[in-house]
Amino acid sequence: MVLGYRAGRAGLLDDPAAHRGFLTRVAVVGTSLSVLGALPVALTVQGLLSPGALTEGLAMGLQVLSGVLGGAGYAALFALWGIRLERRSSPLARAVAAMGQRSLTFYILNSVLVAVVLHPDLLGLGTRVGGFGALLVAALAWSVSLVLAAWLEVRNRPGPLDQLMRRCVHGGRRARGPAAAEEPARGGG
């Protein structure tokens, strides 16, 4: 959360083209360190290492910490990918960008849709469809979210949860985001 806050304050993801060099370094270093940090646990799971309890616990801690760097690396990769998609400007690229601008809303929506369909105490399909079926459910949930994001973008509406978060964080002040574009520029005069 702290890394996301800092990236937001620095505008790294608002204008990724202006920060391309830095984002490239974060992508390479973050994902590389994440993979290296997970390597001891992966080797243990495969039976190639047999560490003691303390060493295994330290390896798990390293995996968690390096996973944070991996998250930053993947966020940077997606920002760099966004630069390429922006140039193409196809309907799919615009829909993906619209979903990204409303990321909190669609992260929660996708999580809820998948959980409702797959969880054994809800619709319970997870016990019957297997791994491939779960992948199809996730792809369908993502597709529904993509259509909804495109619909919100056409109407210049923010994601409801993103808007709620902005209100909680910024109070009555307007924040940057899809709906904030309507706010007139404040000149110094």
Verify that 96 and 174 share a domain, yes or no: yes
The three-class DSSP label of residue 48 is coil
Residue 109 located in a structural domain: yes
Q: What is the pLDDT of residues 45-85, one digit of tens each?
A: 888 988 899 998 999 999 999 999 998 999 899 888 878 87
Range of the domain at 77: 1-88
Share of the chain above pLDDT 70, in %: 90
103 and 73 both lie in a single domain: no
Q: What angle do CA 98, 8, 102 make, to 5 degrees?
A: 20
pLDDT at 176: 53
pTM of the predicted model as reported, rounded to 2 decimal places? 0.57
Q: In this structure, is residue 145 part of a structural domain?
A: yes
Tell whether 81 and 96 lie within a shared domain: no
Report if residue 187 sits inside a domain. Answer: no
Distances in Å between the Cα of 45 and the Cα atoms of 31, 38, 48, 60, 169 are 21, 11, 8, 11, 42
What pLDDT digit, counting tens, does each position of 99-142 carry? 988 989 999 999 999 999 988 888 878 778 888 888 999 999 99
Residues 68 and 142 in one domain: no
Same domain flag for 81 and 95: no
| Mean pLDDT (whole number) for 179-187 | 41
At residue 100, the pLDDT reads 84
